[in-house]
Amino acid sequence: MTSIRPPKPGCFLFTSESVNEGHPDKICDQVSDAVLDACLSQDPDARVACETSTKTGMVMVFGEITTKANVDYEAVVRETCRNIGYDSADKGLDYASMDVLNKLEEQSPDIGQGVHGMGTKAVEDIGAGDQGHMFGYASDETPELMPFTHSMSTRLGWQLTKVRKDGTCPWIRPDGKTQVTAEYKRLKDGSMVPQRVHTILISTQHAPDVDNEKIKKDIMEYVIKPILPENLLDADTIYHINPSGRFVIGGPHGDAGLTGRKIIIDTYGGWGAHGGGAFSGKDTTKVDRSAAYAARWAAKSLVANGFARRALVQVSYAIGVVQPLSMFVDTYGSARFGFTDEQLCEIVKRNFDFRPGCIQRDLNLKEPQFTKLAAYGHFGREDCSPAWEVVKDLSHELGAGLCQGKILGMGNPLLDMSNTVEPSVLTEYGLEANNAVLAEDKHKPLYETLDKMPNTDYIPGGATQNSIRTAQWCLKNDKKDSGTSFASYMGCVGKDGYSEKMKAICTKEGVTATYMEDPSVPTGTCAVLITGENRSLVANLSAANNYKHEHLKANYGVLEAASVVYSAGFFITVCPDAMYDASQHCLDNNKTYCLNLSAPFIMEVPPFWEVVTKLLPKVDFLFGNETEAGVFAKVKGWTETDVAEIACKISMLPSEKAKSRTVVITQGADATIVAKDGKANLYPIEKLSKEQIVDTNGAGDAYVGGFLSKLVQGCSVELCCRAGAKAAAVIVQQSGCTFP
C-alpha cells in the first residue's frame, strides 16, 4: 500500500523537478544551443539541427547545418563544458582532455528550399519546418506567471550553481537535481494557490572529502533558505538532501547525456501540456521551438492583462504550410470579465501572428540568445528577459469587461489653488521657497487672495484623489472611452463654492465623487505658490479631517461595486474605522485592498502606527517610497537598511489573504522595487531630461494611479509598473496633477 503524508482537506499535492547545468542531458542541451548561437552570431539565417551526446571523456555533436558561418565546433564544445565547470575528470568530465567528435553535416537542400525558401521568400510566406503541436502556459501563482513548483525547483537548481561558482560552497560539483512538492488549493475561479511546501528534494554532486552533515547544513542555509518563501515552509515540511547517500561520481562519468531529454524541465514542470518537441539545437524555423515561445507569449499576455488566472494556448502546423492548422485556448474556468475561452482564442488570433516567419521577426529569434536558456528553463526567465516574456498590452481588448466604479479611493480631498506669484507674497505670509506646511491663522487670507487672482488653476487634490483621477484618466485612454466612470472617490468637503468647483472637475474627468458634506467647515484647500522653478504648498485640511464612518455605511453600494479599494496613509489620521470596514469587506469578498504608507509620521506616531499594523494583514498591495520603507524598518526594530530587503520582509509579514502581499516601493528616478513572497524584482521608470520635468510633487500619486488602472483589469505586476511609470512621466511634465 502506498503511504504519503496527505495534504490538508480541500488541497492536493503537485510536484515539479529540475536539473542543474552540469547534468549530462543539460550539458548536451547547452552544447547544442552554443553551436546554434555560434552560427547565428555570424549568419542570422543559419539553419541548424544540432544534437549532442556525451559519456565518459567524450562529447559528440551530430546533425544537419546549413550556414555561411565559419565555426570552430570543437572550440565551442570545449568552451561550453569549461563554462559549466567541467575542468577535471574527477568531476565527471575535463573540457581540455575530453574527446570531441564532430558528425555535423549539411541540411537537405530539399527541406531548405521547399520549406524555408532559402532566402527567396518574404517573412510572411515562410512555411513551418515540420508538423506538430505546441503549447504555451501561464498561471498567476508567481510574479513571473509560472507554476510555483516549477519556479521553485528551477530556482533551487540555479542557487546550487550560484553558490558553487561564487565559492560559498566550494565542495559542490556541477551535477545535481532538485524537486519541489507543494500543497495547492484550487479556488472557485479556477486559479491555483500554493498553500505550503510539502517536500523539498535536492541531490547534488559533491567533493569526496565533504561529510553528509556539512552537505545538509550548507544546503539548508545557502540554497533552500534564500529561495523558498519562509511563509510556505512549516514544521511539517519534509526535506530530502542527498537521500541516496554519497554522490561523488557525476556528470557524463555517471550517466550518458543526450539533447532534448529534459523537455518538461525546459517548460512548465508538468503543468499545462507539452507537444513533445525539444528546443535546444534547433534554429527557430523549427516550430517545435519558435511556436512554443509564441504560445507562451500569448498565454502570459492573456494572464498578465487579466483575461484569466491561468491560460493554456495550443497551436499546430503542417510542414511547408504558412498558417497554423489550429488554435485552442483553455483557461480552466478562470476566464474573467465574462469572456469565454472561444473569445479569448479570437483575441489571441487578432493580436499574435503565428506564421513562422512572423514569429521569428516579432520575437527577435535570429539573435544568438539560446545558450543561456538551455539550463534553468526557457520560460519565466526574468534574468535575461527574452522577447516572449515581455507582456503584450491587450488592454484595448478589455473595454467591455470594466463597468462603472471598479476602483474606489477613500481619502482627504483638497482643492489645489495654483498660481504664479511674486517672491514678496511668500515673504508676506512667512513662507520660503519649496515650503510644504499646514495652514495657520496667518495663512487663511492667502486662499481668498488666490481666488481673486486671474489665471488661478483649480485642481482636485489630496493624495488619494490624485491617484484616483490619474487611474480614471489612464483607463479612459486605455479604453478610448470618455463616457464611463471607472473610478469612484469618497472624502469630506464643505458645502461651499470650493466643493462645487471640485465636484465639477471630477465629473468632467469621469470620476464619481461621492463626497460627505460638512456645512460647518470650509472645503480643504491647498495653496500652490509658484515662484520660478519653486513650488510652496500651504494646506488647510479643514473639512478633509471630518470624514465619518457613517457616510460609508450610507453609501455602501459604492464600496460593493468596487473590486479594488485604495487609501493613502493620510486617511488613517481621519477615519480608521472606515478603512477597517473597507479592508474587511475586501477580505470577505475576495477583492483587492491597497494602502500607501504616504509619509514617515504615519509610522512614527504610535496611534497611527497601530492602525497600520491592524490594517496590514488585510492589505494586498502596499505602496511607499524608499524613505518610508526605511522608517517602517526602523519602527519594526529591523536592522536592514537595504530597501529591497526591507520590502521583502514587509511582504512576508502575516497576511489574512489567500495570496501573499505585494510591496511596491518607488525610488524617485531609480527603478521601482516590487517584493512578494520575500523576493524582490526591479521595474524601470521612464527617464526624462531635467528640461522636461515641471513639477514632481504628484509623481508618487500618479504612479499609484497608473498602477491601479492596470491592477483593476487584473494585469500582471509588470504591466502595472509599466503603467505607473508612464503615468508618473506624464504628470511630472505638467503643473500639478493635471492631464495633457
Catalytic one among 150, 262, 469, 618?
262
Strands (E) across 397-524 are located at 407-410, 414-420, 436-438, 457-461, 487-493, 512-517
Pairing of strands 525-531, 11-19: unpaired
Catalytic one among 155, 282, 289, 406?
282
Catalytic one among 17, 25, 29, 266?
25
Instruction: Note if 288 is an active site residue.
Output: yes
Q: How far is CA 671 from CA 116, 314, 397, 667, 723, in A?
A: 43, 36, 29, 6, 14
User: Order of strands, edge to edge, in the sheet holding 238-241?
Assistant: 11-19, 172-186, 192-206, 238-241
Catalytic one among 14, 17, 21, 26?
26
- Name the residue among 586, 293, 71 with its Cα closest to residue 61: 71
Quote the cell numbers at residue 662.
505585494
The number of helix segments (H) and strand segments (E) in the chain equals 24, 27
Tell me the C-alpha distance between 555 and 564, whole Å: 16
User: Order of strands, edge to edge, in the sheet holding 257-258?
Assistant: 99-105, 58-66, 47-55, 257-258
Q: How many CB atoms lie within 10 A of CB 441?
A: 6
Quote the cell numbers at residue 594.
491597497
- Exposed/middle/buried for residue 97 (C-beta within 10 Å: 0-12, 13-18, 19+): exposed
Angle, CA 371 vertex, CA 365 and CA 375 arms, to 5°: 115
Catalytic one among 64, 428, 481, 496?
64
Catalytic one among 288, 330, 628, 701?
288
Instruction: Note if 64 is an active site residue.
Output: yes
Burial 517-528 (b: 16+ CB within 10 A, else e): bbeebbbbbbbb
Tell me the C-alpha distance between 497 and 159, whole Å: 62
Tell me the C-alpha distance between 304 and 682, whole Å: 17
Tell me the C-alpha distance between 46 and 37, whole Å: 10
Catalytic one among 261, 585, 661, 676?
261
Instruction: Note if 659 is an active site residue.
Output: no
Instruction: Note if 51 is an active site residue.
Output: yes
Pairing of strands 132-139, 87-88: unpaired
Instruction: Note if 247 is an active site residue.
Output: yes
Question: Using CA atoms in the order 219, 225, 227, 232, what is the torsion angle rounded to 10 degrees?
Answer: 130
Answer for the pair 315, 294: CB distance below 8 angstroms, yes or no: yes
Tell me the C-alpha distance between 357 and 729, whole Å: 36
Catalytic one among 43, 87, 130, 255?
255
Q: Which residue is associated with the grid cell 473595454? A: 399
Q: How far is CA 232 from CA 189, 461, 654, in A?
A: 22, 41, 12
Instruction: Note if 91 is an active site residue.
Output: no
Catalytic one among 14, 148, 247, 354?
247
- Name the residue among 660, 633, 654, 634 with its Cα closest to residue 645: 633
Catalytic one among 47, 206, 286, 406?
286
Catalytic one among 116, 150, 177, 378?
177
Tell me the C-alpha distance between 136 and 301, whole Å: 11
Pairing of strands 58-66, 99-105: parallel
Catalytic one among 256, 387, 561, 671?
256
Answer for the pair 9, 186: CB distance below 8 angstroms, yes or no: no
Say which residues have a Cβ less than 8 Å from residue 197's Cβ, sequence separation at least 6. 152, 180, 181, 182, 183, 228, 229, 232, 233, 237
The distance of Cα 92 from the centroid of its chain, to the nearest Å, equals 39
State whether residue 299 is helix, strand or coil: helix
Instruction: Note if 640 is an active site residue.
Output: no
Burial 404-424 (b: 16+ CB within 10 A, else e): ebbbbbbbbbbbbbbbebeee
- Exposed/middle/buried for residue 617 (C-beta within 10 Å: 0-12, 13-18, 19+): middle
Tell me the C-alpha distance between 267 and 410, whole Å: 43
Instruction: Note if 246 is an active site residue.
Output: no
Tell me the C-alpha distance between 688 and 637, whole Å: 37
Instruction: Note if 26 is an active site residue.
Output: yes
Catalytic one among 23, 355, 551, 618?
23
Instruction: Note if 570 is an active site residue.
Output: no
Instruction: Note if 623 is an active site residue.
Output: no
Catalytic one among 17, 51, 183, 628?
51
Instruction: Note if 577 is an active site residue.
Output: no
Answer for the pair 312, 135: CB distance below 8 angstroms, yes or no: yes
Instruction: Note if 261 is an active site residue.
Output: yes
Instruction: Note if 25 is an active site residue.
Output: yes
- Name the residue among 445, 456, 459, 460 with its Cα closest to residue 421: 456
> Hey, which residues are catalytic here?
23, 25-26, 51, 64, 177, 247, 255-256, 261-262, 282, 286, 288
